[in-house]
């Protein structure tokens, strides 16, 4: 697999299907997880070559906008990390794209669909702390780094008095800041650290009852052009039905509360004996605390009505 970095407008037309062009962002995590998908496809389809095409997105170039500016964007702030990749798909410059499912806007660009949600990794957040700190030992005045408003609100609800420090950059950058003692701990996604192969990092996973994950966290989404049956037949073999069911419920909740514009939204679905259990979290703009809701859907065909009801409960004040 060869890699090259280009803007969407510079991408070439698709090649014959013996070579499948895979679009991805260029961050270390994006390359690690897309590489995993490429290797899986090549194992499944002997003779297939997956070419990695790195697409630089507006989010990579300019970062996240303030919430007020994000509201004016068609797909909200999340769209800044996928817009150019989705355009490359629509233009036929790539055949499929690999996204972190939690980075996908609630609504995909018209003409696109998700061909596969591969088996999900650990969906939980985790505390990564310097020696002497653990979740139970975090008390007032402890400095905890995160750039997520969802994590900030859930953290301060669980640990009143902690000082939340704005934390940006990729995982390696964040870990270096922790080593430099710029803060006492930080909250990261378990899946991201593990996909980077950072087995040296000590994690304290936090259960959803404490830190409810973002919708789709831990899952990947393989996006294609709607109606592209040939690519769907190749990529679709990676689809995992339980993962798809759970992530679609979570994304349904995200859409129903109007998330995607910088709003703090959490959602985690799990299969249980009597159906699918969904936990949700949502805070209105400017709130210092949000509302958590949960329910069990016994009939998957009633998903839309079920998530709409939970979203209404989470939004009511």
In this structure, what CATH number is given to the domain that contains residue 301? 3.30.160.40
Mean pLDDT of 144-161: 95
Mean pLDDT of 245-271: 91
| Structure token digits, residue 214 | 């973002």
What is the domain count for the chain? 3
Helix, strand, coil shares, percent, the chain, to 5: 35, 25, 40
Q: Give the single-character DSSP code of 146.
A: -
If one compares 156 and 77, the residue with the highest pLDDT of the two is 156
Answer yes or no: do 83 and 225 share one domain.
yes
Q: pLDDT tens, 69-118? A: 444 444 444 556 689 999 999 999 999 999 999 999 999 999 999 999 99
- Of 103, 125, 184, 228, catalytic: 103
pLDDT at position 259 is: 74
Answer yes or no: do 45 and 96 share one domain.
yes
Answer yes or no: do 296 and 192 share one domain.
no
- Report if residue 214 sits inside a domain: no
pLDDT at position 173 is: 87
Answer yes or no: do 202 and 268 share one domain.
no
Q: Indicate which CATH number applies to the domain containing 157.
A: 3.40.190.10
Is 274 an active-site residue?
no
Answer yes or no: do 11 and 64 share one domain.
yes
Answer yes or no: do 102 and 199 share one domain.
no
Answer yes or no: do 8 and 141 share one domain.
no
If one compares 292 and 263, the residue with the highest pLDDT of the two is 292
Answer yes or no: do 191 and 44 share one domain.
no
Query: pTM to 2 decimals?
Result: 0.87
- Report if residue 244 sits inside a domain: no
- Report if residue 191 sits inside a domain: yes
Answer yes or no: do 96 and 228 share one domain.
yes
Range of the domain at 146: 125-206
Mean pLDDT of 148-153: 94
pLDDT at position 120 is: 98
Interior/surface letters 102-139, b for 16+ CB within 10 angstroms, e for the rest: bbbbbebbeebebbbbbebbbbbbbbbbeeebebeebe
- Report if residue 212 sits inside a domain: no
Per residue, the 3-state secondary structure of 273-304, as one string, reads: CCEEEEEEEECCCCCCCCEEEEEEECCHHHHH
Answer yes or no: do 150 and 180 share one domain.
yes
Answer yes or no: do 9 and 114 share one domain.
yes
Average pLDDT, the chain: 88
Answer yes or no: do 84 and 226 share one domain.
yes
- Report if residue 270 sits inside a domain: yes
CB atoms within 10 A of CB 278: 23
Q: Do 283 and 291 form a contact (C-beta atoms < 8 A)?
A: yes
Mean pLDDT is lowest, of 117-126, 165-174, 222-231, for 165-174
pLDDT at position 60 is: 54
């Amino acid at each position: 697999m060869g890699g090259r970095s280009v803007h969407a407008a510079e991408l070439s037309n698709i090649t014959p299907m013996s070579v499948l062009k895979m679009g991805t962002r260029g961050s270390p995590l994006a390359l690690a997880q897309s590489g995993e998908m490429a290797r899986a496809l090549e194992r499944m389809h002997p003779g297939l070559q997956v070419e990695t095409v790195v697409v630089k997105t507006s989010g990579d170039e300019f970062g996240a906008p303030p919430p007020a500016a994000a509201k004016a964007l068609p797909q909200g702030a999340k769209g800044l990390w996928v817009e150019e990749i989705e355009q490359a798909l629509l233009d036929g410059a790539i055949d499929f794209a690999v996204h972190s499912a939690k980075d996908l806007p609630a609504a995909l660009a018209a003409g696109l669909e998700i061909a596969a949600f591969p088996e999900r990794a650990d969906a939980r957040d985790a505390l990564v702390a310097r020696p002497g700190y653990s979740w139970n030992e975090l008390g007032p005045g402890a400095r905890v780094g995160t750039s997520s408003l969802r994590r900030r609100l859930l953290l301060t609800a669980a640990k009143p008095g902690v000082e939340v420090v704005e934390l940006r950059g990729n995982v390696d950058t964040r870990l270096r800041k922790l080593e430099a003692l710029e803060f006492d701990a930080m909250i990261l996604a378990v899946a991201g650290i593990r996909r980077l192969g950072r087995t040296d990092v000590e994690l304290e996973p936090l259960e959803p009852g404490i830190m409810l994950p973002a919708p789709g966290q831990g899952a990947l989404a393989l996006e294609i052009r709607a109606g592209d049956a040939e690519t769907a037949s190749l990529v679709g073999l990676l689809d995992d039905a339980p993962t798809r069911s759970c992530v679609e419920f979570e994304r349904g909740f995200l859409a129903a509360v109007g998330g995607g514009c910088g709003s703090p939204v959490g959602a985690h679905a799990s299969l249980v004996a009597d159906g699918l259990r969904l936990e949700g979290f949502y805070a209105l703009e400017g709130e210092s605390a949000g509302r958590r809701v949960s329910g069990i859907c016994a009939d998957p065909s009633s998903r839309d009505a079920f998530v709409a009801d939970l979203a209404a409960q989470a939004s009511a004040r």
